[in-house]
Amino acid sequence: MWSWVAHRVTGVLIFFFLFVHVLDTALVRVSPEAYDNVVATYKTPIVNVMEYGLVAAILFHALNGLRVVAVDFWSKGPKYQKQMLWTVVGVWVVLMAGAFYPVLQHTLRTLFGS
Burial of 38: CB neighbours in 10 Å, binned 0-12, 13-18, 19+: middle
Burial of 77: CB neighbours in 10 Å, binned 0-12, 13-18, 19+: middle
Query: Is residue 21 marked as binding?
Result: no
The binding site comprises: 61
The binding site for heme comprises: 61
